[in-house]
Amino acid sequence: MKRINIFSLLMTVLFMAGCDYNDKYFDGYDGNEIKDIVQYEGVYAGTYPEIGYFTDKSLLETGVDKMLKDTFKYVDAGSTAKIAIRYGDITPGLSATDMFAADYNYTLEKADYNAMGEASGEPGRYDNFDSYMDINHYISIFLKNRYPYALANKTAAVTYTYYASGATTTPLRIYKSDGSDWHFFDPYADVVEVSTKTAEMAFNGTDWKLQRLLGGSLKITIQTEELALLVDWVKAHKPEYMKDEKNEFYYGASTQHGNINNSYSNWKSNDPHKEYAGKSDSELQALMDERLASGLIELVLPQLITKPDSGMSYNVVYAIYGGRGRGNYVMSFMYNEEKKSFELAAGPVMQ
């Protein structure tokens, strides 16, 4: 019995001594399980959809989850990864029930066809187009000559004569200006902008889950409808800044001309509180930019972006008259998830 007691005591002493030794010489040995936590950065090496990029976050998550599980067979919860991946942001076109109104409407006439050439195979030969002709080529050049000062994003609906299979019809095509050239435009088609983004993933012990999709951008072009939001707000809250029903000089929005009026002389001529008159051009331009950014943040973006993404850059394109120079400019905004509001990130810069 004594031998047993002595043996038990000896084992206890050895065990305690062993614990002290492990604690002293083996860092982290505290009786807890050592975990395999991964922090990985790389490029997506899995299979893309047939179009060559993702447009759905759930499918993206599934694809990246599979790739990471194939790469890391044994990892623990808490592991993270940042994966560069191609993603397409979709701007929906008009629905079938929506009516589209072009800025310009024109029907080609005999003289127009003749100006395009009267030789065999050219529109002026029979004053029509046929299946052998590049209709977009001819009409794009025609529109550039007819509307040489059209701003970017202006649209034109052109009706023309078309001959095929012994029958003559008068179809209509819509074109959009980029500020220089005219291009065929379908307002009912979705627009996809593809860019490389970063998928931030976290492993929960079972699957890799998408936390955020960072990078990429969404282009938003300010049209008359968005300008009307600014004009209507000024009309309701600061009517003294209204020049007339379609032009205001608090933000500078003009639904009459479809642009932002930054003309320094026009602002100083419409100065109800005498706040513009004493400013230099650069000081007044800074105020214009600040006012417009606040209007886009408070009035326009919340109407256009109903489900904002904090990882997205929202690039707002608008046309300017006067000020720092006539043309198209861009302001970039990010969505602050914590503040639940948009914030100016960069700009304005000329497009």
**Which residues contact residue 316 at a Cβ distance below 8 angstroms, ignoring those fewer than 6 apart?**
220, 222, 296, 300, 301, 330, 331, 332, 333
Q: Are residues 159 and 259 in the same domain?
A: no
Whether residue 334 sits in one domain with residue 241: yes
Residue 6 lies in a domain: no
| Pairing of the two strands 182-184 and 172-177 | antiparallel
What are the φ/ψ torsions at residue 8 (nearest 5 degrees)? -65, -40
The answer on 329 and 285 residing in a single domain is yes
Residue 269 counted as domain residue? yes
Q: Which two tokens stand for residue 247?
A: 């032009």
Do 275 and 229 reside in the same domain of the chain? yes
Place of tokens 């990985």: 40
Closest by CA to 146, choosing from 197, 117, 103, 201, is 103
The radius of gyration of the chain's CA atoms, rounded to the nearest angstrom, is 32
Structure tokens at 45: 């090496």
Domain stops at, among 163, 184, 205: 184
Pairing of strands 253-254, 259-261: antiparallel
**Tokens encoding 148:** 């040489």
Closest C-alpha among 119, 120, 114, 129 to residue 163: 129
Q: Reduced to 3 states, what is the DSSP secondary structure of residue 288?
A: helix
pTM higher than 0.95, yes or no?
no
Do 225 and 209 fall within a single domain?
no
Instruction: Give the pairing of strands 39-43 and 80-91.
Output: parallel
Of 202, 208, 226, 195, the C-alpha closest to 298 is 226
Looking at the fold, whether 199 and 301 belong to one and the same domain comes out as no
C-alpha to C-alpha distance for 286 and 33, rounded to whole angstroms: 59
What pLDDT score does 33 carry? 56
Looking at the fold, whether 201 and 126 belong to one and the same domain comes out as: no
Range of the domain at 246: 220-350
- Specify if 300 maps to a domain: yes
Residue 261 zone, left/alpha/beta (φ > 0; ψ -120 to 50; rest): beta
For residue 330, is it within any domain? yes
Identify the pLDDT of residue 311. 80
Q: Do 256 and 172 belong together in one domain?
A: no
Taking the chain (351 residues) in runs of 10, the rounded mean pLDDT of each run is: 37 45 49 72 95 96 97 92 92 87 96 96 96 96 95 93 96 93 94 89 95 83 95 98 97 96 96 95 96 98 91 90 92 91 91 80
Quote the pLDDT of residue 125. Answer: 96
The pLDDT score that the predictor gives to residue 296 is 98
Contact of 217 with 315, CB cutoff 8 Å: yes
The Cα–Cα gap between 252 and 287 comes to: 11
Residue with tokens 């305690």, as numbered in its chain: 16
Does residue 244 share a domain with residue 294? Answer: yes
What is the tally of structural domains in the chain?
A: 3
Assess whether 243 and 332 both reside in one domain: yes
pLDDT of residue 34: 56
